[in-house]
Amino acid sequence: MASFLKTILRVLLPLGVLYGSWIVYRDLVAHPPPIQQRTVPPTVTPVLATRLAPQSYQVKIETNGVVRPRTETTIIPEVSGTIVEVSPQFRDGGFFEKGDVLLRIDPLNYETAVTMSESRVTESQTALQEELARAGIAEENWKLLGKKGAPSDLALRKPQLAQAQSRLLSAEAELGRAKRDLERTVIRAPYAGRVLQQSVDLGQYVTPGTTLGKTFAVDYVEVRLPLTNPQLGFVDLPETFRGESPSSPDREGPEVLLSGNIGGSQSQWKGRIVRVEGALDQRSRQLFIVAQVDDPYRRTPTASTPLKIGLFVEAAVQGKELKNVFVVPRVAVRAGSEVIMIQPDNRIRRKKVTPLWSDTDHVILSAEKDGLKEGDVICLTPLAYPTNGARVVPTIDGVAQETETPGKKPPGTPPLEKSS
């Protein structure tokens, strides 16, 4: 009997627990406890902002290029011989002035040629004088003989006289050539310049066509600078039409500032755009302009070292001056074409813009193109998910603004645009 009761309890007890749990669950579902609702205040984001004010902006076009000489010369002798003298300035990097002697070729053979030519000229002059005397005697004899008719050219020795004159002219021409060859044994500088490369030295035998060295003029150097098609609209280039002088004062090109690093030292050189190349580059579709730096080897306060041929330089070309534009920090423009406007009720509004120009730090906006006006406030703080109508607490140009009561709009608040 006792074991029977234990068996009954083992079965009924779990069933009773399950039944009781079901009763409690049914009552909770039928009569749930009241939920206490809590009002969450709207999120207000503090942001930095600036108020738009029209101003003028000087465009600076950033580009780069490599310094190259304006005038470069390969020195080649016109006569052959042994190098007997090399100027101390005729070394790589050496400076020289116009007319300086750079090299001398052994002149001995050419001095001998001049002496021999002078001798032949003297002989030809003597022969001509003798022939003139013979021609005079022949004419006198013809008259004394009393022959009728005009004497023939041969009787008057005119062919012999012409031959003597021709020999004199030939001897004089040969003397002139010998003197020119003698002068060519001295290699002189055609301009004030610098040696780019020395190819020969003392004792070397050279012939016409041998490269003695390369030099370049130091009056000024040039830098080819590429400009993209959009950049061309922001710079006044010294374009020249056919029949016009490229050196006219009204075609003076814009200034350019070149910067280069030599041995860890940053130097700057001032130049000017002097011409525009005649065709776009076929690969890049860019137009090259040419900057000129006058007297690049003069010591200046901004250059710790002379400008080097082959140096890669950064260039800032002075562009046009944009007037009545809004200059805003680059961080204020999202994805290059959108700004966040802050309305008088401190709510934000996204607005599409088309920048006129931009540089490393700023974006230039136009009142006419973008529908902006003086006094408009734009957000400078990057917002991850800006939503039209979201409320912010702006600090405008360093001045914190008072927070307005949520839901209250000042009179005249413009309607919100839909998020784009």
- Does 209 lie in the same domain as 97? yes
Average pLDDT, rounded, for the chain = 85
Where does a domain end: 299, 321, 343? 321
Q: What is the pLDDT of residue 157?
A: 77
Q: In this structure, are 232 and 295 located in the same domain?
A: yes
- For the cut 90, the answer to whether the pLDDT of residue 84 exceeds it is yes
Q: Is residue 32 part of a domain?
A: no
Statement: residue 40 has pLDDT above 60: no
Q: Are 89 and 201 part of one and the same domain?
A: yes
Residue 158 within any structural domain of the chain: yes
Note whether 95 and 194 are same-domain residues: yes
Provide the domain limits for residue 202.
74-105+186-218
User: Percent of the chain having pLDDT more than 70?
Assistant: 82
Answer yes or no: do 199 and 90 share one domain: yes
Q: Tens digit of pLDDT for each residue in 178-234?
A: 999 999 999 999 999 999 999 999 999 999 999 999 999 999 999 999 999 999 999
H or E stretch covering 115: helix 108-145
Q: Do residues 417 and 350 touch, judged by C-beta distance below 8 A?
A: yes
CA distance 51 to 344: 12
Last residue of a domain, one of 281, 304, 321: 321
Task: State the Cα–Cα distance between residues 106 and 203, nearest whole angstrom.
Answer: 10
What average pLDDT does the segment 9-21 reach?
A: 67
Range scoring the smallest mean pLDDT among 38-52, 295-309, 400-414: 400-414
416, pLDDT greater than 50 = no
Return the closest-CA partner of residue 420 out of 390, 391, 389, 388. Answer: 388
Q: What is the pLDDT of residue 32?
A: 66
Note whether 253 and 359 are same-domain residues.
Answer: no
Is there a single domain that holds both residue 297 and residue 395? no
- Kindly state whether residues 330 and 303 are assigned to the same domain: no
In a domain, 19, yes or no: no
Lowest mean pLDDT among 43-52, 224-233, 241-250: 241-250
Same domain, 274 and 317: yes
pLDDT of 413? 38
pLDDT surpasses 70 at 4:
no
377 has pLDDT over 60: yes
Q: Is residue 202 part of a domain?
A: yes
Q: Nearest Cα to 337, choosing from 317, 323, 316, 358?
A: 358
So what's the pLDDT on residue 67? 96
Residue 159 pLDDT level (bands cut at 50, 70, 90): confident
Residues 208 and 78 in one domain: yes
Is the same domain home to 214 and 78? yes
- Same domain flag for 317 and 252: yes
CATH number at residue 99: 2.40.50.100
What lies within 8 Å, CB to CB, of 15 at 6+ separation is: none
Reduced to 3 states, what is the DSSP secondary structure of residue 116? Answer: helix
* pLDDT tier at 407, thresholds 50, 70, 90: very low
Question: What is the rounded average pLDDT of the residues 269-284?
Answer: 91
Alpha-carbon gap, residue 363 to 322, rounded angstroms = 12
Q: Hey, what are 102's tokens?
A: 């750079």
> How sure is the predictor about 420, in pLDDT bands with cuts at 50, 70 and 90?
very low
Query: Which of 321, 350, 380 is the C-terminal boundary of a domain?
Result: 321
Tally the domains of the chain: 4
